[in-house]
Structure 1
Amino acid sequence: MGHRAERLANQVKDELGMIFLTRYSGSGLGMITITGVKMSADLRLAKVYFSVFERSERESVLAKLTADTPGIRHELAGKIRVRYMPELRFYIDDTADRVEKIENLLKEIHKNDNSASNELQ
């Protein structure tokens, strides 16, 4: 990502965090955290990655954010000065799930290694 794209991604991330705080606090959606924003090379698309504390609520939060995208984009346009406000696309950040899966696999391998070494002795 170029310098301009990175700067805009950071602005979008910061402002969306504030928008979500005011727009969704007390809405029952849980705590939504913006984990990252990736801009396209032409700065016309922002892929917004988010996480929610309650895993069971992720799909409903994604549906709500997708439905609210035009309003969120309009609100964001009032806070960021750019020639063209990027299209927003929301994605569930599953990094924590992947980390947990890898940790579980490593624990299983370690457990199997210990079992094998105990059998050899």
Structure 2
Amino acid sequence: MKKDNRPTGPSQRMLRVGELVRHALAALFARGEVEDEALRGAVVTVPEVRMTPDLKIANAYVMPLGGTHAEEIVEALNRHRKFIRGRVAPQIDLKYAPEFRFFVDETFEEAGRIDALLRSERVRRDLEADDGDDDSQED
């Protein structure tokens, strides 16, 4: 039997570990244990953590509340990633503590762009034209 070469999504284990790491990071940020001028007073959310298949790298997508200074905050977190690794490792039961890489989460921004596109006059006009075509076909 020929194996299908289509890319598959993350495994259940990758998803489970990613969620475990996400919760540990969120708790760490809520406690304010990472000391950096860029992080002072910032509330950082962790919408998603994607693990590599070997579970050795955790790509954490973060966004500060309000979305301000996101790049600075990500740079600060990446500067302190060894400290963060040391704090998170005891909370998760893995053979190896994952290496952390922090990125700005752009899903909210992307959703906003899609929403704006769907609300645009051009799309609305096309949808109305399609609705008119459907009525003529019913006769």
Report the TM-score, using the length of structure 2 for normalisation.
Answer: 0.73
Q: 2: CA distance between counterparts of 1:56 and 1:15?
A: 23
Which is richer in helix?
Answer: 1
- For 1:73 and 1:87, the matched residues in 2 are separated by 7
**How far apart in 1 are the matches of 2:49 and 2:124?**
39
Secondary structure of the 1:78 match is: helix
Cα contact 2:24–2:88 (8 A) shared by 1: yes
**1:6 aligns to 2:11 (yes or no):** no
Which 5+ residue runs of structure 1 have no aligned equivalent? Answer: none
Please list every run of at least 4 consecutive aligned residues from structure 1 whose deviation after the TM superposition is greater than 6 angstroms. none
Unaligned runs of 5+ in 2: 1-9, 130-139
Structure 1 position 101, deviation (Å): 1.1
Give, in angstroms, the shift of residue 29 of structure 1.
4.4
Q: Does the aligned pair in 2 maintain the 1:29–1:61 contact within 8 Å?
A: no
Q: Deviations over 1:56-98 (max 9, x none)?
A: 3101111110111010000011211211111111111111111
Aligned Cα root-mean-square deviation (Å): 2.5
Check whether the contact 1:30–1:54 (CA below 8 A) recurs between aligned residues: no
Report what 1:52 is aligned to.
Answer: 64
Q: Secondary structure at the match of 1:33?
A: strand
Identity of aligned residues (%): 24
Aligned twin of 1:38? 50
Please state whether the residue corresponding to 1:41 is helix, strand or coil. Answer: coil
Q: How many residues align?
A: 116
Contact 2:118 2:124 survives alignment (8 Å): no
